[in-house]
Amino acid sequence: MSRMSEPSGAGGPDGTPAAGHPVRIPGDTRLYVPAHPRPPAGPAQESAVGLALQTVPATGELVAVAFTTLDALVAALGECQPWITLPAGRLAELVSRGGLARMSINPVRPGPHARPRPAGHSARPPR
């Protein structure tokens, strides 16, 4: 299991964790992660994906952001937010490797790094 803290989230009847409480998520649970495509820096390099981060207002701590459902991601960040899915365990590894101690699971509002995307970019997969 991956231990993730949730500095800003919403508890709900669907079993999502309550705000500010640590939560354990099985490592194989798929999470929806706001992401930002990054083009290759040079001809010999591959493109990359940057994960969304947010600052916890009360502490100034920088945390990674993830959602337990696509609907939760869209509700918080809008239809145009690009995203990827990752198993919770893999995301926890990436976050730790990046020097962050915590993740925000199902945050209610976007962090200061959230940017709207142009029309025509949809967060939902094509049907």
Burial of 104 by CB count in 10 Å (0-12 exposed, 13-18 middle, 19+ buried)? Answer: buried
Q: What tokens appear for 44 in the block?
A: 């010999």
Confidence of residue 20 (pLDDT cuts 50, 70, 90): low
The residues that bridge with 85 in the sheet, in sequence order, are: 32
34, 85 contact by CB (below 8 A): no
Q: How many C-beta atoms lie closer than 10 Å to residue 48's C-beta?
A: 12
127, 81 contact by CB (below 8 A): no
79, 124 contact by CB (below 8 A): yes
Is 50 exceeded by the pLDDT of residue 73? Answer: yes
35, 84 contact by CB (below 8 A): yes
Please write the tens of the pLDDT for every residue from 76-126: 999 999 999 999 999 999 999 989 888 889 987 654 545 554 545 555 555
